[in-house]
Amino acid sequence: MATTGDNSKTALIEGLNGLLADHLALYFKTKNFHWHVKGPRFRDLHLAFDEQALEIQGQIDAIGERVRKNGANTLTSIGSVVSHTSIADQDNTGLSAEEMIAELRDDNAGLVTRLKALKEHADKAGDNATDGMIDDWTDQAEERVWFLSSMLH
């Protein structure tokens, strides 16, 4: 029979794999927008999207390693990412710059929500290292939301 600690660790691992999927999907979407943005703000947005993609990419390995350090397996394929992510695909390369910004803002805001829920699982599982990293990842996602929101006003 599973103990509360086992249930908390299972929830943490599932949450981390979901977070990993979201970061991989958001990284790819942000790069997609980096490649396809057009218009008078092209240079600024091209660079801003690339900066955000690099920040997201920088978190991917750490998230996967937290799963492994908790004795579990990470996602293994594009299919496993698709089945675990809450980030919707965006194949329309004709979106306006404002539509791209708004979509990334909303995706990052969803990531903040997922991170805050995951923090509770890390706390219940007694995983202090993940708990601390979640604070950093949340701060970075909140900053992306702020920057993207500011670009729309």
Q: Output the pLDDT for position 153.
A: 82
Q: Output the pLDDT for position 2.
A: 46
Q: Output the pLDDT for position 117.
A: 94
Name the token pair of 78: 């594009």
DSSP character string of 47-76? HHHHHHHHHHHHHHHHHHHHHHHTT-----
Show Cβ contacts of residue 133 under 8 Å, excluding neighbours closer than 6 positions. Answer: 62, 66
Q: Whole-angstrom Cα distance, residue 52 to residue 112?
A: 15
Q: Give this prediction's pTM.
A: 0.93
Q: Whole-angstrom Cα distance, residue 11 to residue 122?
A: 9
Domain residues for the domain of 46 are 4-152
Return the CATH number at 101.
1.20.1260.10
Neighbours of 107 (CB within 10 A): 22
DSSP character string of 10-30? HHHHHHHHHHHHHHHHHHHHH
Q: How many domains does the chain have?
A: 1
Q: Output the pLDDT for position 19.
A: 98
Strand, coil or helix: 95: coil
Give the pLDDT of the chain (153 residues) as one tens digit per residue.
Answer: 445 557 899 999 999 999 999 999 999 999 999 999 999 999 999 999 999 999 999 999 999 999 999 999 999 999 999 999 999 999 999 999 999 999 999 999 999 999 999 999 999 999 999 999 999 999 999 999 999 999 998
Q: Output the pLDDT for position 6.
A: 77
